[in-house]
Amino acid sequence: MTVESSPQSDPLPPRPAEAHALEIARGLSGERILCTTVGRAQTAHALATERPAAIVTAWFLDRYRHDLAVVAWGDRPAGLAAACVADMPPGPYDLVVLPLSKDGEAELSREMIQSALCQLAIGGHLVAAIDNAKDKWLHEQLAETGETVRVRPAAGPKPETIAYIVQKTREPQKIRDFSCEFAFRDRDRLLKAVSRPGVFAHRRIDPGARHLLNAVDVAPELRVLDIGCGSGCVAIGIAARDPSVHVHAFDSAARAVECTRRGAALNGLGNITVALEAAGDVPEPGTWDLALANPPYYADFRIAELFVASARRALAPGGTLLVVTKQPSWYLEHMPATWNDVAQEFVKNYHIIEAVKP
């Protein structure tokens, strides 16, 4: 993926929930600070700028968003760091700022709240904000921690957001493990996978992944790419069929990479390599035999376009790309100009797009 923004040409204000969270955070003390973001970590940058002695960490789960933020910051304050890792970087923190989207994944939000309370020092503050002025759900989640929740409505005649402040007075009594292991069958073998909130698809094998696995017959020594691997079911299924096959799986989501590695270890598969990768780069480009992809449908096929471009760079001449989708028109319209033998097969509400690199 190419990061095109710059702090000079593309200054961005924080989104409403993050702007509200920043407003509240400015009134709270703290020199050890962690911020999540629904944009480009504007809160982390602002607090690090305003508090030169502070150590501020911006935590990302997605490498693409991490890279966009780092570029947007330009010359960052000395105390500001960015971390793209599967779990909240360990504290203790004096202040955690957690802006959320009303359209976000509920289980991921619950886990982030739990992590924040675990990593805060006693006496430290959690600021949580959401882009729903009539919110009840987030308030309930915070109240369930047993700590006092202070409400900070947004100002103005038509408020978009609401914010909450929680001060930690004691260590959490119950820590929930939000990760899970699940089993799925590929042909004659029962396999295991690991998933976590924020990973596609959590707690199950996605039907699209199932169709990809069914569409592939592996040959000895085959070199296979799993582009956007999610929880790793496709990579695990292919690698388990033949130990001589090499599968390289990558994703821009730090948790997807972690889950795929854990799944490979659970199944004793040493023929899977995994990478955190947002630009679609692979080792030894131009040498891979098969690329498999299950791109998300949002963003006007921007992500699908990046997946296809990554496959084209990675495959050897004559290599094959298989994409599973519910919306085949974009692929059938755009791929014939740069790929050979573009074809589709309809299978149970999904389309398998097959194409060959010239």
Q: What confidence tens digit (pLDDT) does each residue in 39-80 have?
A: 999 999 999 999 999 999 999 999 999 999 999 999 999 999
CATH assignment at residue 28 = 3.40.50.150
**Is residue 331 located within the same domain as residue 227?**
yes
**Average pLDDT of the segment spanning 264-272:** 98
Domain coverage including residue 273: 180-356
Residue 156: pLDDT band by 50, 70, 90 thresholds?
confident
Do 199 and 333 share a structural domain? yes
Q: Which of 200, 220, 222 is nearest to 209 (CA)?
A: 200
CA distance 221 to 224: 9
Domain count, the chain: 2
Q: Tell whether 51 and 97 lie within a shared domain.
A: yes
Band (pLDDT 50/70/90 cuts) for residue 297 is confident
Kindly state whether residues 133 and 206 are assigned to the same domain.
no
Considering the domain architecture, whether residues 259 and 308 belong to the same structural domain is answered as yes
Residue 313 lies in a domain: yes
Placement of tokens 């882009």 in the chain: 131
Total-model pTM: 0.93
- Are 206 and 352 in the same domain? yes
- Asked whether the predicted pLDDT for residue 2 surpasses 70, the reply is no
Tokens of 180: 């899970």
Whether residue 2 lies inside any domain: the answer is no
Q: State pLDDT tens for residues 198-218.
A: 999 899 999 999 999 999 999
Enter the tokens of residue 188: 């004659």
Decide: 112 and 127 in contact? Cβ < 8 Å: no
Q: How far is Cα 75 from Cα 172, in angstroms, rounded to an integer?
A: 38
Q: How many CB atoms lie within 10 A of CB 135?
A: 19
Closest Cα partner for 193 from 151, 235, 228?
235
Q: Within this chain, do residues 207 and 338 fall inside the same structural domain, yes or no?
A: yes
